């Protein structure tokens, strides 16, 4: 592992200790700024935006701007790795690899300052990828508009791929996603007098079961969609009939059209629950993420860079039902997101996720090759 990769491992471990949720990445932002300010300042322009950071590096003979995004936020998960550099923020963890993403982003800036390319580069450290969504508002910022990239790249760690693997594909990589929150309100009462109340535990139970029919009976089986209910809340004590109940879930679809269909069916089912159980319902779709659709030229460029890097293999990925707000960034800008193999037994969003840090060097070398190829003519 070379000197820059070793630095990046240190950056990653320090960032891993201080996970913060979306738009609260205060310590994270300061740590990144501290590392950036230790790098050569002559060619680098730094601008903060909320808890995010823009880093603009002018090219020596530019004709375009290449963008690279690293996301910053952690998750509200209690870490169970037992690592010596485990989270110091109780109840929070970098369980999606954003600590590695940021360390690789810092290494990319460091490399481009020492090895200038012809074209301009805009590196984005983006907050709130996990929620409530930082990509769209960050793109509206003056700095993004002033230095708007002509092409844009990002990576995401992949526990299921071995170290040394870079995987991507043209077209759809990640799904359209939407959060789903449904709250039911009826009339509570004494457990001994159920006829005088409207039991929202029963209503919610029927709703959960009916939601499972949306995909199986309304979506073309050759298409792909998912409704997952991840959390249920109802009642406060065993002998009181609950007057309120709530479910939290997620919707994921291959196409925007299927997302609209699924939501229409959910709304119809909820109206039926209101009528059947004499209650009121409220639906909130929370954060909605656009699909990640990789442009052909940029996807091929990533795979070429990987295959021309010693010890790295570029492979074609399969579509995944994961969601990423990077999809908004490449909706109108040609770009590519790729998987970086980190070979972990535990998966994304798991409390024991422990990605292999050797993958950091793989990413750095692949991105160096990519910027050399895309930024020099």
C-alpha gyration radius of the chain: 23
Mean predicted confidence (pLDDT) in 328-334 = 97
- The alpha carbon of 270 is separated from its chain's Cα centroid by a whole number of angstroms, namely 29
Mean predicted confidence (pLDDT) in 329-344 = 97
CA 44, CA 37: separation in Å to the nearest integer?
10
Structural domains of the chain ordered from first start: 3-174+291-375 (3.40.630.10), 179-288 (3.30.70.360)
CA 34, CA 10: separation in Å to the nearest integer?
14
The SS3 assignment for 14 reads helix
Reported for 38-46, long-range contacts at CB under 8 A and 24+ positions apart, including other chains, are: 39/109, 39/110, 39/113, 40/113, 40/114, 43/113, 43/116, 44/109, 44/113
The SS3 assignment for 327 reads helix
CA 110, CA 130: separation in Å to the nearest integer?
26
Mean predicted confidence (pLDDT) in 135-160 = 97
CA 149, CA 298: separation in Å to the nearest integer?
13
Q: Is the pLDDT of residue 356 over 80?
A: yes
The whole-number pLDDT of residue 377 equals 81
The whole-number pLDDT of residue 127 equals 98
Phi, psi dihedral angles at 239 (to 5 degrees): -110, 25
Q: What is the token pair recorded at 54?
A: 């823009």
Q: What is the token pair recorded at 310?
A: 């010693």
Q: Which active-site residues does the annotation give?
A: 71, 130
Model confidence at 192, pLDDT cuts 50, 70, 90, reads very high
Helices (H) and strands (E) counted in the chain, each on its own, are 10, 17
Q: What is the token pair recorded at 295?
A: 């442009």
Q: For the chain, what is the mean pLDDT?
A: 97
The whole-number pLDDT of residue 1 equals 67
Please enumerate in sequence order all residues whose Cβ is within 8 A of that of 260, keeping only pairs 6 or more positions apart, or say none. none
Phi, psi dihedral angles at 312 (to 5 degrees): -120, 140
Q: What percent of the chain has pLDDT over 90?
A: 98
Q: Is the pLDDT of residue 132 over 70?
A: yes
Q: Is the pLDDT of residue 21 over 80?
A: yes
Of all helices (H) and strands (E), which one includes residue 54? strand 52-57
Helices in the chain by DSSP H: which ranges? 3-16, 26-37, 98-114, 135-139, 142-146, 200-218, 256-277, 296-307, 326-329, 358-375
CA 348, CA 339: separation in Å to the nearest integer?
12
Q: Is the pLDDT of residue 372 over 70?
A: yes
Looking at the DSSP bridge assignments, the partners of residue 153 are 68, 336
Q: What tens digit of pLDDT does each residue of 202-225 get?
A: 999 999 999 999 999 999 999 999
Q: What is the token pair recorded at 349?
A: 């969003």
What is the strand order of the sheet 120-126 is part of?
Answer: 45-49, 52-57, 120-126, 65-71, 151-158, 335-341, 165-168, 313-316
Q: Is the pLDDT of residue 311 over 90?
A: yes
Q: What tens digit of pLDDT does each residue of 73-88 get?
A: 999 999 999 999 999 9
Q: What tens digit of pLDDT does each residue of 228-275 get?
A: 999 999 999 999 999 999 999 999 999 999 999 999 999 999 999 999
Contact 231, 160 (CB under 8 A): no
Q: What tens digit of pLDDT does each residue of 60-115 get?
A: 999 999 999 999 999 999 999 999 999 999 999 999 999 999 999 999 999 999 99
HSE-up (13 A, CA, CB side) for residue 245: 23
């Amino acid at each position: 592992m070379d000197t820059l990769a070793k630095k990046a491992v240190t950056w990653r471990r320090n960032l891993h200790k201080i996970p913060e949720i979306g738009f609260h990445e205060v310590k994270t932002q300061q740590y990144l700024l501290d590392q950036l300010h230790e790098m050569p300042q002559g060619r680098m322009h730094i601008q903060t935006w909320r808890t995010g950071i823009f880093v603009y590096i002018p090219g020596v003979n530019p004709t375009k701007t290449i963008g690279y995004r690293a996301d910053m936020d952690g998750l509200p998960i209690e870490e169970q790795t037992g690592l010596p550099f485990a989270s110091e923020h109780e109840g929070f963890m970098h369980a999606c690899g954003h600590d590695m993403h940021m360390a690789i982003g810092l290494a990319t800036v460091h490399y481009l300052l020492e090895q200038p390319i012809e074209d301009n580069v805009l590196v984005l450290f983006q907050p709130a990828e996990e929620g409530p969504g930082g990509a769209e508002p960050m793109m509206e910022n003056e700095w993004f508009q002033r230095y708007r990239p002509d092409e844009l790249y990002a990576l995401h760690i992949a526990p299921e791929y071995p170290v040394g693997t870079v995987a991507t594909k043209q077209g759809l990589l990640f799904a359209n996603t939407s959060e789903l929150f449904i709250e039911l309100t009826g009339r509570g009462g004494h457990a001994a007098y159920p006829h005088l109340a409207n039991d929202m535990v029963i209503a919610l139970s029927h709703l959960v079961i009916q939601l499972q029919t949306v995909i199986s009976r309304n979506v073309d089986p050759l298409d792909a969609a998912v409704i997952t209910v991840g959390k249920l809340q109802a009642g406060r004590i065993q002998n009181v009939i609950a007057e309120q109940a709530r479910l939290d879930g997620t919707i994921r679809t291959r196409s925007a059209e299927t997302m609209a269909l699924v939501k229409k069916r959910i709304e119809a089912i909820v109206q039926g629950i209101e009528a059947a159980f004499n209650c009121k319902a409220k639906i909130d779709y929370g954060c909605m993420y656009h699909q990640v659709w990789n442009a052909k030229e940029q996807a091929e460029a990533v795979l070429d860079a990987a295959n021309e890097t010693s010890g790295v293999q570029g492979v074609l990925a399969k579509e995944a039902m994961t969601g990423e707000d990077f999809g908004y960034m490449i909706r109108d800008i040609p770009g590519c997101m790729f998987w970086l193999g980190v070979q972990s037994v535990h998966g994304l969003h798991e409390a024991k996720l422990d990605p292999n840090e050797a993958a950091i060097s793989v990413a750095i070398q692949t991105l160096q090759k990519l910027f050399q190829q895309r930024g020099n003519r």
